[in-house]
Structure 1
Amino acid sequence: MSTDPTLARDLAAAATLRGSFLLRSGTIADTYFDKYRFEGDPALLRRLADAMLALVPAETQLLAGLELGGVPIATAMSLASGLPAVFVRKQAKSYGTCLAVEGGDVTGKRVLLVEDVISTGGAIADAVPLVRAAGAQIIGVVCAIWRGDGAPGITVMPDLPVRAAFTRAVRRS
């Protein structure tokens, strides 16, 4: 559990924008949560990485940051913990190494997926087959913020443990 009592407030203050925003759904909102605002702030990112590291299972051998938002968080967690990190593309690139999982060999390793914000888990569901195809054993997911309904979890992968540093209301979960 985080020993940083002001982190949730500071994340919300950095990332909550007011104005007129077109959402992916096509609706207009007067507030927008821009997660890249806290991912790009070194002090906040360090504090968030520390809070998320408290959720990492002891058997974890590799952190796997999902493109795009999971990459800076996994990197910060790696720097703070010494655990190696790899990076998961949305699809294998068509040139060079032609890999979907970059940064090192994951074969036979116990891998924890790292994501910034999860609402439905679609990006996780897309990444899992890519990481497994690379030979990894996925032991779970850790995210900064769970925005979905109910307890953190991926509906299409109910056996995959999901741990969240914060919930949609940006409170400690």
Structure 2
Amino acid sequence: MSSFNVKVGSISRDLPAVQVGNVNRVPLVEFIGDSEFTNETAQAMLPLIPEGTEILLTVVTNALPLTHEISDRSGIPYVCARKKRRTYLTDPMIQEVPSMTLGVSETLWLDGLHAQRLKGRKVTIVQDVVASGGTGKALARFVERAGGTVIGYLAAFKQGDSDLPVTFLQELPRSI
């Protein structure tokens, strides 16, 4: 199996290549279950947080541990959108994501109480990898609908072409 090596701070990881559709294989970034890599990446991302950020917004699953660590180190609180409807969500906002990296459209859910935390706030959207920008745009729509202002997009990695003005640590190849 082929892989792609990344180095963040003092940590190096060989990212396995996974098949995406029928077209190509791409490096798979996994923060879940890799505390060492997650912590080092969060630390490296701290200087990239836009000045004036009052709250971070992310989406489950892989970006959540990264955002949590960034929040813990910076003191900036965060809100997380979900990919499934949960029975305990109060008056949730719903946002379609037209095209995800892996070619699967999804629906994102943001608890109404969490959406209230975005109102009037300067928000930075945090992702693990930005490829097409679809997820970032969907998260931005949550912010706008909740009455907040997106002041930045932050990602550990960027892969491919996206028109989002994202700040990132490293670029990943589109195909390996």
SS in 1 for 2:48: coil
Unaligned runs of 5+ in 2: 1-6, 93-108
What is aligned with 1:87? 80
What is aligned with 2:39? 46
What is aligned with 2:21? 25
SS in 2 for 1:60: coil
Write the distance in 1 (CA, Å) between the matches of 2:81 and 2:45: 18
Return closer, same or farther for 1:131/1:67 CA change in 2, 3 Å cut-off: farther
Unaligned runs of 5+ in 1: 1-5, 155-160
Match for 2:159: what amino acid? R
Match for 1:61: what amino acid? E
- Structure 1 position 71 matched with structure 2 position 64: yes
Match of 2:110 among 98, 101, 106: 101
SS in 2 for 1:57: coil
Whose RCO is larger (CA < 8 A, sep 6+)?
2
TM-score normalized by the length of structure 1: 0.73
What is aligned with 1:7? 8
What is aligned with 2:105? none
Q: Deviations over 1:94-128 (max 9, x none)?
A: 75313233474111000000001111111112221
Q: How far off is 1:9 after superposition? A: 8.1
| Higher relative strand content | 2
SS in 2 for 1:54: helix
Q: How far off is 1:51 after superposition? A: 1.0
Q: How far off is 1:141 after superposition? A: 0.3
What is aligned with 1:61? 54
Deviates more, 1:129-138 or 1:95-104: 95-104
What is aligned with 1:158? none
Q: Deviations over 1:59-93 (max 9, x none)?
A: 00011112322222111101111110111235775
- Structure 1 position 121 matched with structure 2 position 116: no
The answer to whether the 8 A contact 1:90-1:127 is kept is no
What is aligned with 2:169? 165
Return closer, same or farther for 1:165/1:39 CA change in 2, 3 Å cut-off: farther
Aligned residues: 149
